[in-house]
Amino acid sequence: MTARSCILVTGGAGFIGTNFVLQWVERGGTIVNLDLETYAGNPENLVSLTGSPQHTLVHGDIADAALVSLLFREHRPQAIVHFAAETHVDRSIAEPDTFIRTNVCGTFTLLEQARQYWSSLREPERSTFRFLHVSTDEVYGSLSPDDPPFVEEQAFAPNSPYAASKAAADHLVRAWFHTYGLPTLTTNCSNNYGPFQFPEKLIPLMILNALAGTPLPIYGDGGNVRDWLFVSDHCAAIRTVLAKGQLGETYNIGGNSERTNLEIVRMICLILDELRPDPVGAHDRLITFVPDRPGHDRRYAMDARKIARLGWQPSVRFEDGLRSTVEWYLNHAPWVDRVRTGAYRDWIRQNYDERISR
């Protein structure tokens, strides 16, 4: 599999998918991009590809078997890279049915349509076809402070509806490899950050709230630990697994950058104090501790030695990636204004304002 191959990408107008699509096309590849364009899937992210023969954006649902089958037949991709998913834990607590439909039923539909397409191929296309499923470290559950990082053989222990739906999808992918021989690969990544991330997630939410002078809501005591991975490094890891990964295997992808949520927010405040000082005072004055969410995992950490044997390592230091991310949001105010719709504001009020007022 080379960067010049034609592939089918699901969720390619979302945060990680957008970055992957832009990088793949930049390297000379061709993409058929299937995206439902929900609140977090933004075609504006891909405006630079307008008119490009290397990129076809299709508005549609991964659970639409007829549409997926048509895309396979018409475009005959050499691989499918499956990003499409509902991903926000808080939303999964409020609306678990959406997560089951997309993450479980949608993945099942893709697997079945991919299996039928792959079965129809002749050599050498049949032996080079790949189905790469992008998953999360949250399927493994929570670590204590002194526990070793997650390894690929870790037993699943999901603690939120989101994590459970992704764990179910991972199991389906494994089963389609072992039962049907579908040439699958799975990646489980740590927390991503970088350009184009929808501002419901921690880092962009804190950047934009700080710029607006509104509270910076931190769950519990702020001591929850995550391993942070810059999105361009994640995209490079996926390309590596697609090209070199062993069929049926899972690869953990981590940034070797464990930080507490409170550390992250304080770092963002210091960067903004330098780049966009607030005459009222330091941005960390806005930090507000709010009641924790149910089932909040304490710590995630990834052992990424397996993918390192394929030749991949993260290249972006967290401090550099965070500054770059803050600068991106500062320089893309029109994009931010357009994605922060009334629906977004309603969600923020629903999920955070009541906590802040308690």
Question: Whole-angstrom distance between the N-terminal and C-terminal Cα of the chain?
Answer: 53
Nearest Cα to 152, choosing from 69, 233, 252?
252
Omega within 30 of 0 (cis) for the link into 291: no
Nearest Cα to 185, choosing from 237, 232, 140, 142?
237
Tell me how far CA of residue 139 lies from CA of 72, 85, 143, in angstroms. 29, 14, 12
Amino acid at 181: G
How many other C-beta atoms lie within 10 A of the C-beta of residue 126? 12
Residues labelled catalytic: 137-138, 162
**76 Cβ contact list (under 8 Å, min separation 6):** 6, 125
**42 Cβ contact list (under 8 Å, min separation 6):** 13, 14, 18, 196, 198, 339
Q: Which residue has the tokens 């032996």?
A: 127
User: Contact, 215 vs 209, CB < 8 A?
Assistant: yes
For 218, the 3-state DSSP assignment is: strand
**45 Cβ contact list (under 8 Å, min separation 6):** 13, 18, 196
